[in-house]
Every structure is written in structure tokens, then in C-alpha cells.
């Protein structure tokens, strides 16, 4: 777990380890979602046409992998919510 500080301007630096894990680069847009005590950062989906999706860029992350990751994130959030309720 990482601890971050909110600046006077409201800025928060996302730890490098998390940025690498999720592939977040400078300029990427993230949606901030409030789950009632838990705040989540979620990447804003990019326009497929602008990103060249469907072109031959090679293999990427499969839908199954993405779904597994989303389910694991959901479990983590649920565990945090349960701890917060105690």
C-alpha cells in the first residue's frame, strides 16, 4: 500500500509502481469514482479510431485478462468497503 499527499492545488502523485502496473503515461485521462469511502481511478476509454484499434499492431491484452483484472479490482474494493464498515 502506498500513502500519497494531496497538494494545496489538489494534486496527488500516483506512485510509479502503480503507473507502470497499469500502463498509465503522462497525459492519460483517468476517471475518479467515489464508492462511498473508497475512491477509484479508472482509465477513460480512448477513441478506437484515433488509437488505431483493429489495425495490425500485434497482440494486446485479451478480453479475458481484462475481465479477470476488473473482477479482482472489484474484490479488492469490496474487501476495503467491508473493513471500512467495521
Supply the pTM of this predicted model. Answer: 0.51
Those residues with Cβ within 8 angstroms of residue 48's Cβ, 6 or more apart along the chain or in another chain: 54
Dump pLDDT digits (tens) for 41-80.
999 887 766 656 555 555 667 788 888 889 999 999 989 8
CA nearest to 20, candidates 28, 32, 11, 9: 28
Let me know: does 34 contact 77? Beta carbons within 8 Å.
no
Query: Using alpha carbons only, what angle is made at residue 19 by residues 14 and 24, rounded to the nearest 5 degrees?
Result: 110
Those residues with Cβ within 8 angstroms of residue 42's Cβ, 6 or more apart along the chain or in another chain: 30, 31, 33
Let me know: does 6 contact 39? Beta carbons within 8 Å.
no
Amino acid at each position: 500500500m502506498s500513502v500519497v499527499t494531496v497538494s494545496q492545488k489538489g494534486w496527488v502523485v500516483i506512485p510509479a509502481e502503480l503507473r507502470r502496473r497499469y500502463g498509465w503515461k503522462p497525459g492519460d485521462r483517468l476517471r475518479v469514482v467515489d464508492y462511498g469511502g473508497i475512491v477509484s481511478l479508472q482509465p477513460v476509454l480512448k477513441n478506437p479510431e484515433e488509437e488505431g484499434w483493429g489495425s495490425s499492431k500485434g497482440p494486446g491484452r485479451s478480453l479475458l485478462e481484462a475481465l479477470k483484472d476488473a473482477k479482482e479490482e472489484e474484490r479488492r474494493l469490496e474487501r476495503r468497503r467491508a473493513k471500512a464498515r467495521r
